[in-house]
Structure 1
Amino acid sequence: MSRTERSDDRPRPRWRDSLWGVGVIALVVGAGVRLVLHGASAWPSAVVGSVPVAVLLVWWTRRRRRQDAEAVGTEPDDVPGMDRRILRGGPVPRDPERRRAMAALVDSRQERLRRNRWWAFPTLFLVFFGTSALWFASGSVGAGSMMLGLAIVFMSWLTWYNLRFDRRLSQMRGRLRD
Structure 2
Amino acid sequence: MVSGERSDGRRRLRWQDSLWGIGVIALVAGAGVRLLLGGASAWPSALLGAVPVAVLLVWWVRRRRVRDAKAVGTEPDDVPAMERQILKGGPPPRDPERRQAMATLVDSRQRRLRHNRWWAFPLLALVLFGTSVAWFASGSVIAGSLSLALAVAFLGWLTWFNLRFDRRLSQMRGRLQS
TM-score range, shorter chain: over 0.9
Report the AA paired with residue 79 of structure 1.
V
Percent identical pairs in the alignment equals: 76
Query: Could you say which residue in structure 2 is the equivalent of 1:87?
Result: 87
Q: How far apart are the structure 2 equivalents of 1:50 and 1:41?
A: 15
Query: Could you say which residue in structure 1 is the equivalent of 2:110?
Result: 110
Equivalent residue pairs, number: 178
Secondary structure of 1:17's counterpart equals coil
**Structure 1 residue 6: deviation in Å?**
4.5
Report the AA paired with residue 160 of structure 1.
W
Report the AA paired with residue 121 of structure 1.
F
Consecutive unaligned residues of structure 2, counting only runs of 5 or more, are: none
Q: How far apart are the structure 2 equivalents of 1:32 and 1:136?
A: 30
- 1:84-143 per-residue CA deviation (whole Å, 9 max, x = no partner) reads 100110221010000000000000000000000000010011011111011111110010
TM-score by length of 2: 0.95
1:130 aligns with 2:130: yes
**Structure 1 residue 11: deviation in Å?**
4.1
Runs of 4+, deviation exceeding 3 Å:
5-12
**Structure 1 residue 4: deviation in Å?**
2.7
Secondary structure of 2:90's counterpart equals coil
**Structure 1 residue 3: deviation in Å?**
6.5
RMSD across aligned positions (CA): 1.6
- 1:126-171 per-residue CA deviation (whole Å, 9 max, x = no partner) reads 0111110111111100100000000100010011001000000000
| Contact 1:9/1:93 (<8 A) preserved | no
Report the AA paired with residue 172 of structure 2.
M
| Contact 1:11/1:82 (<8 A) preserved | no
Query: Could you say which residue in structure 1 is the equivalent of 2:56?
Result: 56
Query: Could you say which residue in structure 2 is the equivalent of 1:35?
Result: 35
**Structure 1 residue 10: deviation in Å?**
4.5
Q: How far apart are the structure 1 equivalents of 2:10 and 2:101?
A: 12
Query: Could you say which residue in structure 2 is the equivalent of 1:176?
Result: 176
TM-score by length of 1: 0.95
Consecutive unaligned residues of structure 1, counting only runs of 5 or more, are: none
